[in-house]
Amino acid sequence: MVNKDLKIRLIGAGGHGILTLGMILGETAIKNGLEASMTIGYSPAQRGGWSRADVIISENRIDYPIFTDPDILIATTQETYDLEYGNVKDGGLIIYESSLVEPREVEGVRQIGINAIENAIKLGNRIVANIIILGFFNEITKTFPEDLVEEIVASRVKKKYVDLNMKALKLGREMAYEYVGKGVMKG
């Protein structure tokens, strides 16, 4: 459900699955008949740094793959949230990892915290925190058909992890239902 360019900036600590999440979004877009581009950035540190994936999803050919003003920001650490929250477009959306991020006041931007890491640990492996975020993101934004997201995620992981990842996607979706159910966001 993309009417124009959708610019998504994903940023977090190395190991948070940021680049994987970007790859999944891009691949899902392509398989959905859309155009997608992704550029990658890293902090200069060799260890303990952050990584960033900038994804554009569009119905049209993407002329310029670089942007500084995302429609949607997904940030999984305080450092990366603080770097980027001020750049989000007016009317945009921020999804942050609530166990690690204390959100700031931002006018004109909707912010949602989700505790993906602890929930991933409860599912059995913290590595699927990014997949919980994906399930949540897609349910909130309705960007892609649900089964297509499942198909792409399943195709990217080893067979023995498919089940875990499907559970993570489902949990993310359920967290979104719960969030929407609170009446904070309707329609």
Partner 1 sequence: MKNGLLKPGDYFLRGNYAFVEGALLAGCRFFAGYPITPSNEISAMMARRLPQVGGAFIQFEDEIASVVAIIGAANGGVKSMTATSGPGFSLMQEAIGLAFMIETPIVIVDVQRGGPSTGLPTQVGQGDFIQANFGSHGDYETVVYLPNSPQEMFDMAIKAFNTAWRYRVPVIVLADQMIGQMIEKVSVPSHDEIELVEYEKPEIPPEEFLPFDLRYEVPPFVAAGDGYRIHLTGLAHDERGYPTTDHETYSKMLLRKLRKIWDNADEIVEWEERLTEDADLIVVSYGITSRSVYKAVSDAREKGLKVGIYRLKTAWPFPYKRLKELAMEGRNILVVEVNMGQAYRVARQYISHEGVYSMPWAPGRVPPPEAILKKIEEVYKA
The 3-state DSSP class for residue 38 equals strand
Closest to partner 1 by CB, 125 vs 155, is 155
In the bound complex, what is the minimum distance in angstroms from residue 33's beta carbon to partner 1? 9
- Write out the two tokens for 130: 């990014």
Residue 35 sits in the site that holds partner 1 (CB under 8 A):
yes
- Write out the two tokens for 8: 């998504």
For helices 159-181 and 146-156, the axis angle rounded to 10 degrees is 150
Asked if 175 and 132 count as a contact pair (C-beta separation under 8 A), the reply is: yes
Report which of 80, 114, 111 is spatially closest to residue 94, judged by C-alpha positions: 111
Provide the Cα torsion 128, 131, 133, 137; round to 10°.
-170
Report which of 135, 95, 137, 130 is spatially closest to residue 116, judged by C-alpha positions: 130
In the bound complex, what is the minimum distance in angstroms from residue 63's beta carbon to partner 1? 4
Closest to partner 1 by CB, 27 vs 71, is 27
Closest to partner 1 by CB, 22 vs 70, is 22
Report which of 143, 150, 147, 98 is spatially closest to residue 119, judged by C-alpha positions: 98
The binding track of 62-81 with respect to partner 1, each residue x by CB under 8 A or -, is: xxxxx---------------
In the bound complex, what is the minimum distance in angstroms from residue 111's beta carbon to partner 1? 27
Q: Quote the CA–CA distance of 21 and 48 in Å, as a whole number.
A: 19
Closest to partner 1 by CB, 71 vs 97, is 71
Sole binder of partner 1 in the list 6, 7, 18, 26 (CB under 8 A): 26
Closest to partner 1 by CB, 12 vs 116, is 12
Residue 39 sits in the site that holds partner 1 (CB under 8 A):
yes
Sole binder of partner 1 in the list 37, 76, 138, 165 (CB under 8 A): 37
The 3-state DSSP class for residue 166 equals helix
Selected range binding partner 1 among 26-34, 84-92, 127-135, 142-150, rule: CB under 8 A: 26-34
Site residues, partner 1 (CB under 8 A): 22-23, 26-27, 29-31, 35-40, 42, 62-66
